Structure 1
Amino acid sequence: MAAKRWDILQRAYPNQAQVWFGAIDACLQAKDVETAEKIHQLASERFPNNPNTLLHGARIRLAQGEIQLAAELFETARKQHPKILEIWLQSSDCALRKGLYDEAEVFNAKARELVPSHPKPHKQYAEIAMQQQDWHTALKRWAAFRKLFPENPAGYILAAESAEKSGDLKLARKLKLAREYGEELLTDSEEVNIYSFHNRRHRHATLTGLMELIWTKAIFNLRSETQRNYLSYLWWVIEPLLHMIIYFLVFGFLLQRGGEGFITFLLTGLIPWMWFSKAVSNSSNSIITGQGLMLQIAIPSIVFPLVSLVQASLKQIPVFLVLFAFVWLQGYPPGLHWLTLVPVILLQTLLIVMFGCILAALVPFVRDISHIVSTGLTFVMFMSGIFYSYESIPEKWQELFLLNPMAFIIKCYREIFIEGIYPDFSTMGIWAVISIIGCALTLISYKKLRYIFPRVVLS
């Protein structure tokens, strides 16, 4: 099929060299060497001085098993076109086919010298050591490759293969993990030696070991996330502020809602809601996105949603600090009643864990749920009283309205921050009991499904 498409392109663009040589590539990939040779003969007549004429001619000879003829063509190509990277790379591959490892290294060295910033020569350099089964040298070269190209998966996948071949299964697993969580995992520091959590299975049976694993993975994910942004950690505060500005412009300015003190009212509802929304939303697909790691290493499935929840919670810490400062500056000074923020935040944490883990467990079985999570959260947002007080709705509906746990949580925050009173501890206790039972049942479900999740995520 590919060869037919290239034939159409040749007729449409008869003077475009890349079309002809692309057709040769397509034929070689389809192992149709005969057609590739016919196209090459025609291309040689049209483009005799094109470096691809020699390059593809040599590739065809290699496909036909004529290694010596291919080597001669590569030699001619190197003399006529010494600045073409691909010629040196394929010359090195040809030398490897002949078993001439020293010659292959010479050609590869020229390729690395020619374009030092391109990953291909450095990748080939490490692969040469692998072909010689010199695993120690290969691992050194892959380490150098990762320093130059930390985002390239080959530096982890093929390095892990080299480690396995050398018998160092511990390093192989660390390399696979490093692909997910960053090269810091490959250091000798105990602070980042995440392999210890996987290597000692009995640690999984303890709450302490599980918490350390979740904390370490969450920290690495956050580092990786912040390194991709110019403003780094500042986005943790900038993003919620942008949301606040948008909602204030819509509800406070355009719709003329709220009046005096509306910004404080809005923030005391919006910031707790954003914590809940982001944590639950991110955790819902966590098992699906973590399937690669789950299939490589025996790791409890509940780790994935909990890592997402910890990440979202850590990002909220500076945002809450900004909220505390803002409320104080707006004339609502802290007092003893602010101490009740601790149980309110703990209760919200339990609710987040319960809902986040439940959704994460359901999504692998019913993938459609992931498409309605954002819509469902939007509905809950407008039913939680973020932009209006629950007292503004008819009194007969207020009790029903506050059955929404987030509506009740936001009410508690506003009672503490704005009204300066203590929240409803009895209702908080009821929700705490419900959340603890829900979390316990969810944990039991995860244990029973621990061997089913890996099969389901592949379906």
Structure 2
Amino acid sequence: MTQIENLSPAQAFELAMESMRQKRWVEAATLWQAFRQQYSGHPAPWLQGAVSLMRQGQYAAADELLGHARMCFAQHAATWLICAEWARLQGDLRQEAEFLMQGRQLLGDQWQLLCQTADLEMRRGDHAQAQTLNQLAQENAPERSEPAIQTAEFAEKLGDWEQAKQRWRRVIELKPDYARGYLQIANACKMQGDLVTARRYRLASQYGPEILNAVAPSVQAEPARRGGVQRGHGLNLMGLVFTKAILNLKSEAARTHLNHAWVVIEPLLHLVIYYFLFGKLLNAGVENYGLFLLCGLVPWMWFSKAISTCATSILGGQSLMLNSNVPPAFFPLVSVVQSTLKQLPALLLLLLLGMATDPKTLSWALLYLPVIILVQFALTIVLGMLIAAVVSIVRDLANLVGTGLMLLMFLSGVIYQYQTLSGTIGHWVEFNPMTLVIAAYREVILQGQAPAGANLAYVLAVALSVGLVVAAVYKHQRRNFVRRGMS
């Protein structure tokens, strides 16, 4: 009890609310009882205490608390809503209506009271009055989704599926991430016999609203417009890829406290580790080793993360491919674009650090930097798509991707100058495209000179060769991707 007394009201109430979320009603009721002594002037201990008692079936004890709340906290909408719930749970519609009427007389057209009264009228069978009250709630709280959800539910109860569909669309306009809204639209479409649209909205509830922009199968079936359809499909697919990548980034950032700051923090942490390990302990012997290291780490982390996420991307999209016309290439493309967008701030950081620590960085050679980025982007796309295709057919290879990337990192000159390698090893390392890409970054940023054109041409040739293989694989193996992935 001493520990509870030291809590602020917000902390104390959150402790009790957590018990309620966990449905530990006895524990919650005990906490609210303690808080009523300590925070008697707050409505929460009385109202939420009553709710905790009601969930245990102790309606008489709850009524005592609600009676106090009606005297002391009559200006709170929650008081009348919980009193109405108390009456509803006991099947007393007359008492429920009286509580709601008292609340509206004191507080006016408060949207929660209007919605609860509309629900009561719907249960009484007065559909017209329920719709009128709901419309008034929507007018008084146009930014809230709850009244819109209620009116959509009313349409479903009346069996008006066209109206229900339109109203649920209004709900997802207010709450684009509300998965239930897409499921209810799918149900309305199913009831109307529109199974194709129902399937698309059902998929949208799983994968996000951007899937609704996918090209419909009926469009692809028009042979007379095959060329135009393919071009339109390609543009639509790329728009869908970028939309999905951006939404994934937002979702990823929302799950962490530092959000997008990790894009910059992560390469700096790697820099510190490798700098002290190789620059200090093992004495790499490279001038301005910190910038040298970043020139290797930033491009490599972009490449490595893109390939890692691509590896199982098709496997993760099996159900979507089975239920829609989304092509297998969509999934690795999203992974590459997402990794690219995520690493752009780190590339900017690399450039700014170069300008701040090395005067040779600020030169005309920086004009070649976008070319190097595009070359690496092309290489990453084709390799990511190839690995995604292979892993979707031979799943065991997914376990080797991490080890392979680690080996490739040490063969790409990320932490050392590959030119210092002698003999056969040095010769073979030059055939690694990422070695030449990283060398190009260093030539532009560290040395202030144009990258070797022959090296970039070689990387593009590798990307083109792999791209031709990838195009053939994705053209002829789509069914195998789905069938083997689901087995």
Change (3 A) 1:376 1:57: farther
Give the percent of matched residue pairs that are identical in Structure 1 and Structure 2.
Answer: 28
Is the aligned partner of 1:425 residue 2:415?
no
Alpha-carbon offset, residue 253 of structure 1: 5.2
> Corresponding residue for 2:80?
none
For residues 406 and 242 of structure 1, the distance between their equivalents in structure 2, rounded to whole angstroms, comes to: 23
* Contact 1:412–1:424 (8 Å) recurs in 2: no
> Corresponding residue for 2:168?
142
> Corresponding residue for 1:162?
188
Structure 2 SS opposite 1:146: helix
Alpha-carbon offset, residue 128 of structure 1: 1.0
For residues 86 and 351 of structure 2, the distance between their equivalents in structure 1, rounded to whole angstroms, comes to: 70
For residues 199 and 369 of structure 1, the distance between their equivalents in structure 2, rounded to whole angstroms, comes to: 36
> Corresponding residue for 2:69?
none
* Contact 2:118–2:134 (8 Å) recurs in 1: yes
Is the aligned partner of 1:330 residue 2:359?
yes
For residues 311 and 299 of structure 2, the distance between their equivalents in structure 1, rounded to whole angstroms, comes to: 19
> Corresponding residue for 2:266?
243
CA RMSD after TM alignment? 4.8
* CA offset digits 1:13-34 (Å, max 9, x no partner): 99898778657xxxxxxxxxxx
Change (3 A) 1:365 1:54: farther
> Corresponding residue for 1:286?
313
Structure 2 SS opposite 1:451: helix
Alpha-carbon offset, residue 131 of structure 1: 2.9
TM-score (norm 2): 0.64
> Corresponding residue for 1:75?
94
Alpha-carbon offset, residue 324 of structure 1: 5.3
**Aligned counterpart in structure 1 of residue 336 of structure 2, from 309, 326, 348:** 309
Is the aligned partner of 1:358 residue 2:386?
yes
**Aligned counterpart in structure 2 of residue 277 of structure 1, from 304, 310, 335:** 304
Q: What letter matches 1:301 in structure 2?
A: P
Is the aligned partner of 1:389 residue 2:389?
no
Alpha-carbon offset, residue 113 of structure 1: 9.0
For residues 90 and 388 of structure 1, the distance between their equivalents in structure 2, rounded to whole angstroms, comes to: 69
* CA offset digits 1:220-260 (Å, max 9, x no partner): 23443566669xxx987x55532342233333357525553
For residues 484 and 113 of structure 2, the distance between their equivalents in structure 1, rounded to whole angstroms, comes to: 46
**Aligned counterpart in structure 2 of residue 398 of structure 1, from 416, 419, 426:** 426
Of the structure 1 ranges 398-407 and 415-424, higher mean CA displacement relative to structure 2 is found in 415-424
Q: List runs of 5+ in structure 1 lacking aligned partners.
A: 1-8, 24-39, 59-72, 187-193
> Corresponding residue for 2:289?
262
> Corresponding residue for 1:201?
220
* Contact 1:160–1:175 (8 Å) recurs in 2: yes
Is the aligned partner of 1:151 residue 2:177?
yes
Alpha-carbon offset, residue 331 of structure 1: 0.8
**Aligned counterpart in structure 2 of residue 220 of structure 1, from 236, 243, 255:** 243
> Corresponding residue for 1:438?
466
For residues 350 and 180 of structure 2, the distance between their equivalents in structure 1, rounded to whole angstroms, comes to: 44
> Corresponding residue for 1:128?
154
Question: What is the correspondence of 1:49-128 to structure 2 with a 5 Å cutoff?
Answer: 54-58=87-91, 73-80=92-99, 100-105=126-131, 119-128=145-154
For residues 332 and 140 of structure 2, the distance between their equivalents in structure 1, rounded to whole angstroms, comes to: 46
Alpha-carbon offset, residue 106 of structure 1: 5.6
Q: What letter matches 1:399 in structure 2?
A: H
TM-score (norm 1): 0.67
Change (3 A) 1:382 1:74: farther
Change (3 A) 1:426 1:331: closer
Q: What letter matches 1:201 in structure 2?
A: Q
For residues 378 and 204 of structure 1, the distance between their equivalents in structure 2, rounded to whole angstroms, comes to: 44
Alpha-carbon offset, residue 299 of structure 1: 1.9
Q: What letter matches 1:283 in structure 2?
A: C
Structure 2 SS opposite 1:128: helix
* Contact 2:328–2:481 (8 Å) recurs in 1: yes
For residues 348 and 179 of structure 2, the distance between their equivalents in structure 1, rounded to whole angstroms, comes to: 38
Q: What letter matches 2:149 in structure 1?
A: K
* Contact 2:245–2:337 (8 Å) recurs in 1: no
* CA offset digits 1:168-201 (Å, max 9, x no partner): 7787677567657876888xxxxxxx35565521
Of the structure 1 ranges 126-135 and 309-318, higher mean CA displacement relative to structure 2 is found in 309-318
For residues 345 and 29 of structure 2, the distance between their equivalents in structure 1, rounded to whole angstroms, comes to: 62
> Corresponding residue for 1:36?
none
Give aligned pairs, total.
407
Alpha-carbon offset, residue 145 of structure 1: 1.8
For residues 241 and 106 of structure 1, the distance between their equivalents in structure 2, rounded to whole angstroms, comes to: 54
For residues 143 and 94 of structure 2, the distance between their equivalents in structure 1, rounded to whole angstroms, comes to: 24
Q: What letter matches 1:423 in structure 2?
A: A
